[in-house]
Amino acid sequence: MNNILQTEKITCKDIAKLIPNVDGVIPSGSSEKVIRKEFQKRDSLQNDKIKNVYSQLESIFKAAEVVGLDLTANDASRLVRDVLEGSKNGSLSFPSMYKGVSFNPKTYDQSRGRGEWIVLLDFFSLMRSFVNETTVMNQENPKFLILDAGLYWIINLLGIEGIKLKNQTPRGAASELLETIKTSLQKTEFKEIVECNRIRNAYLRAIAQQFPANMAPQVLSLKDIWYDDSFTQFLSKAIELFCTRGIKGWKVSRPVFYQRYMPYSPWVTPLVAAEQIFVGQRFGFSGILSPTAEAGWNKAIDQFSRYMNTKTYIAWMYSRKIGKKLSYEWVPFFSDSEDKLRSKMQMAQTVDPSANELVIKFVTPFVEPEMIANMNDALKKRNLKKLSEFVFNFMNRIEKQACEFLDSEKDIPLTPLNQIGWLTNFPPGIC
């Protein structure tokens, strides 16, 4: 990022330039004319307001750089819209966002055991780094949430034949679909999938505990949403939009075609659409973070938000730089011994001298500035002993906490949504 904030005047054109293209994802609404209209709608073309919006957006992109993510968004004008709409009494509120964490079949299998990789830190590190980067004074607390979305994998395995919805109404079909899912969670054939998801969920909650207690981001599971009575109404509306009813029952007539490890079931489409609008309405979220590979979902979510007459979403999208440097097996795992970790970092240094820097970037937002300086010095000197010790000490804390959760719980604990309040608050300032 440049030092443009030090210049006398910032324009709408500067904001347009701030949001990059990433992996072929080109933000819409990023022309100077469109962005200017967002300010004009709210009588906010004063330079101080343009400068404040620029500062807010620059902070999140700088935070992404710090943790090794290439970040973009689906629509620049929506970013401006939400920052301005969040303004109260001269303060600014950054658009709230959440991330759905998908299923990773490599987290666990009976023959290999379990292992979770360091990139699970990405959104957590981004959150922490963003708060560290924030410079706008008197802003409201940013709101962030993690949604463990791994159980969509069971929908994929059920496929079209495993989901038969006969009820005549969308509301009845929604209830049938949710009951089918809940029943499937108890089936022996999906036992390993449920266990794999339980393990990843434990790591998510263990990472959340690396924040100060009053700053810990909320981690929810899909089960928390599926078991909430009010979700049925959102799902019924998604079925109305994306599905049609024929002689043999309901089918998804407008699916999103997406593949990750395997082709996604058409039934994931109404479930994901309902989930995103439900979370947005229930908790006030206006954006979601996902990989650029999932950009195909943006159109469907926009369609459903318009169908539900809700504000269109900001889809933040990212690409991990580390994924372009190292193969999966050479990325550090939380369960790695210090020797194993050092071996991986030695290999990473051989493959690409910058790879270990990307590993360190996931961890540095959680440590004191003095330690960061020490790690940068170790990186410069390629001191793998110090680097591996630094990374291991942090990752081992997460590993131990995840093990405590797994040893003490047989299932992912349900979180009643009417009890969480604004535990998604994330205080401003250095944390």
pLDDT tens, position by position, 249-305: 999 999 999 877 778 999 999 999 999 999 999 998 889 999 999 999 999 999 999
SS (H, E, C) 18-60: HCCCECCECCECCCHHHHHHHHHHCCCCCHHHHHHHHHHHHHH
Write b or e for each residue in 83-104: b if 16 or more Cβ atoms lie within 10 A of its Cβ, otherwise e. bbebbeeeebbbbbbbbbbbbb
Token pair for residue 113?
């055991």
Residue with tokens 């679909």: 177
At 163, the pLDDT band (50, 70, 90 cuts) reads very high
pLDDT digits (tens, 9 = 90+) for 402-430: 999 999 999 999 998 887 754 444 443 33
**Domain spanning 11-419 has what CATH number?**
3.40.50.620
Q: What is the average pLDDT score of the chain?
A: 89
pTM of the model: 0.91
Q: Is 233 left (phi over 0), alpha (psi -120 to 50) or beta?
A: alpha
Residue-level pLDDT at 5: 52
Domain ranges within the chain, ordered by starting residue: 11-419
Tokens of 248: 């043999």
- Amino acid 363 reads V
Q: Is the dihedral angle over the CA atoms 98, 103, 108, 110 positive or is it negative? A: positive
Q: CA 249, CA 243: separation in Å to the nearest integer?
A: 10
Q: How many alpha carbons lie under 13 Å from residue 425 in its C-beta half-sphere?
A: 12
